[in-house]
Structure 1
Amino acid sequence: MKAWLLLVSLIAWLLAGSGLVTAESSSQTLIDNRFASLQNYRTLRGEFMQLRTLPNLSNPLRSSGQFILSRDQGFLWQQQAPFRTRLVFSEQRLIQQVADKAPQILTPVQNPAPFYFVAIFQSLLGGDWARLRQDFRIEHTDQGLLLQPIQEPMRRAIEAIRIEGQDQLSRLTMIESSGGRIDIHFKNLSTDQLPLSDAELKQYQP
């Protein structure tokens, strides 16, 4: 029905509603455009420095290393300090190796929980906001984005996630419901459309 056929009160209500829809759409556009460079890639590489704060420890645990997020091969997280660990995640399996010990391999059938949380982390790094909206309420802030879980079991584990940066992701803060906190600082992020090198592909194998 044309607007000029509506009663004045109904027109006012529609305009108010339209304003709300526009605001929500604008906010969603801001969210979708934030860290847009992370969304159009075949491979994302970078370095990280992580601080893990636990309620029963006076000093945070510090670690650092490199990561690769490949749309072809999956997610590779390599900690170099204080000791070497390797985590490889794909839809079919999860590989974890500490130093030179034999790698441990886990499948979703054996334990689906790690795959759920690693998939969330992978979506955060890759800027997959459509996937994240299934589990989080996402708000745009001056510093970046604020994500608050809306689904179980995420709400039992995480209170909120903050993502900071301008054109590129620079910091991810995860506040745990138990009182712990994880701060990850990223640097030297790069994206490209090239396949992984032979050396990188070897890191994805058990």
Structure 2
Amino acid sequence: MAAFGSDYRKWLLTLLLGFSSFAHAFDLQQLSAQLARPQVIHGDFIQEKHLRALPKPLTSTGTFVLARDHGLLWQLKTPLQQDYRITAQGIARRNGNEWQMLPGKSAGAEQNRLFLAVLQGDSSGLQRDFDLQLQGEAKDWKLTLTPRSLLLKQIFTRINIDGGELVQRIELQETQGDSTLLKMQNSVSNQPLSDAEQHDFAQ
């Protein structure tokens, strides 16, 4: 009987620990809060565009600045230099000393809006258009987005996002068989916006 009591206590403890770990499982709300925490993130990116018709991906590199209260500065360095600004108002391209707004209904525009929502941790915005499946923990997670809206179903089949404290990798699988892989590197969240960056967001 004593042995049975001991086994029962072990079973009960295991059960309680299992419930405890389940209750504290990493969820979308926690991920959103984690990604939205930094005021400003600076980093580098490598973007690979894999096209069915080409044997090697088209690769571009650059830097980015994500400001929680402003938006995203996307600064291409190679193979050409071009700056983009993505905000709630839309997407703009730098033209000399000015920013020129771009049409908002293209596939590229949808992709850039998606980048902004993902990097800012806007899970409520993503849930309007995607079914979200999250796996892992705060330091190592994977988020799979399956499109629900008709427009996005015409563009993407699936989007895979990996990260830890910040987003590290975004893979967009397109309906035509092409894909885009975006790797975020050297990201830091301890540097404020420079005067030039503040000016870019304010224009």
The equivalences for 1:73-152 within 5 A come to 73-97=70-94, 105-106=100-101, 111-113=104-106, 116-142=110-136, 144-152=142-150
How big is the alpha-carbon RMSD for the aligned residues of Structure 1 and Structure 2?
A: 2.9
Alpha-carbon deviation of 1:43? 1.5
- Count of matched residue positions in the alignment of Structure 1 and Structure 2: 178
Structure 1 segments unaligned to the other structure (5+ residues): 1-21
TM-aligned CA deviation for residue 34 of structure 1: 3.3
Tell me what 1:63 maps to.
60
Cα pair 1:35 1:127 within 8 Å, conserved: yes
Deviations 1:56-82 (A, max 9, x none): 111100111111111333211001111
Contact 2:86 2:116 in 1 (8 A): no
- Which one-letter code corresponds to 1:88 in the other structure? R
8 Å Cα contact 2:132/2:146 also seen in 1:
yes
**Distance in structure 1 (CA, Å) of the matches to 2:34 and 2:69:** 18
TM-score (norm: length of structure 1): 0.73
* Identity %, equivalent residues: 25
CA distance in structure 1 between the aligned counterparts of 2:181 and 2:147, rounded to whole angstroms: 18
* Matches of 1:119 and 1:33, distance apart in 2: 22
1:46 maps to which residue? 43
The answer to whether residue 28 in structure 2 is matched with residue 31 in structure 1 is yes
Q: Provide closer, same or farther for how the CA distance between residues 133 and 36 of structure 1 changes in structure 2, counting only shifts above 3 A.
A: same
Q: Matched residues in 1 for 2:23 and 2:46: separation?
A: 33
Note if contact 1:34-1:167 (Cα within 8 Å) is conserved in structure 2. no
> Which of residues 152, 156, 172 in structure 2 aligns to 1:154?
152
User: Contact 1:93–1:105 (CA<8 Å) still a contact in 2?
Assistant: no
CA spacing shift, 1:139–1:155, aligned 2, 3 Å = same
Question: Which AA in structure 2 matches 1:163?
Answer: I
Q: 2 CA distance for matches of 1:36 and 1:104?
A: 31
Contact 2:169 2:184 in 1 (8 A): yes
Report what 2:197 is aligned to: 200
Normalising by structure 2, what TM-score?
0.74
C-alpha contact 1:31 1:145 (8 A) present in aligned 2: no
Which residue in 2 is equivalent to 1:172? Answer: 170
